[in-house]
Amino acid sequence: MNRLLFSLIVVTGLLTACQNADNSRPVARVYDKYLYESDLQNIFLTNVSKEDSILIAKAYIEKWIQTQLLLKQAENNLTDKEKNVARQLEDYRASLLIHKYEQAYVNQKLDTLVKETEVEQYYYSNKDNFVLSEPIVKALFIKLRKEAPQTPKIKEIYRSKKQEDIQLLDNLAYQAAIFYDFFSDQWIPFSVITRQLPYTIDNVKETFSKQYIEMEDGSFIYLVSLREVKEQGETAPLAYITNEIKQLIINARKQNLIDQLERNLFIKAKDDRNFEIYK
């Protein structure tokens, strides 16, 4: 039996049979570094079979060996100056602790309720920042089988904006359509529609001008009625970016909380004479 596999079986047996035992036996070595049975105690999940435990332990040991080999190579090839990472580690530790504390503080204090009036005010104050990077539409999309008995009538009325035709279309499409979506009150990227079509659209401006698309592919007919269009480069409508604006407002609140926290800490520490700046 493979020596590593045998060791893994012994290790998993020891760990599951006697968690309180003195697990100080080594299970792997790289140069003068050792991995011990006790180092493996916390890697196993509950209710895992012995076979799975062996696989988990094998992966952990092999990763440990790879890490130690790379570390040894780095120590042998880097200069003393390059190996002096104490300052970097301290800076990283400080940044990590500060980030964790700020996140906990923000989570405790943050108001995530954004009113419609706040969204509108933000939108109209920053409209120049909300330029569409792609066309968006309100549209109707239908995919039909050519031989469906409802197809002629659907083709006749799918571009109509009369309420009675829209209701009839809903009923007919429900019976006959392979796929039917009516984004009458929702802006969506035009690409959401074009991805459903069998062929690419060469002249988007002409398509927008006609306000409809008709294509055939094998046994299917594709019908698109463009109800409203906003082209690339135009200002995005408020309804399309409401969620984005809410997130921007919440992010600004987060930053304000952090800025306020830092100011308050600084002022209090200054009043309490907890720091000095020497000239």
Sign of the torsion angle spanned by Cα atoms 250, 251, 257, 259: negative
Per-residue pLDDT tens digits for 230-262 = 999 999 999 999 999 999 999 999 999 999 999
Give the mean pLDDT of the chain: 88
| Structural domains in the chain, sorted by start | 3-80 (no CATH), 92-130+243-274 (no CATH), 132-230 (3.10.50)
Q: What is the pTM of this model?
A: 0.71
One-letter amino acid of 259: D
pLDDT at 131 over 90: yes
Question: What are residue 141's DSSP bridge partners?
Answer: 181, 224
Residue 41: which of 29, 50, 53, 55 has the closest Cα? 53
**Amino acid letter, 153:** K
Strand ranges inside 129-176, DSSP E: 136-145
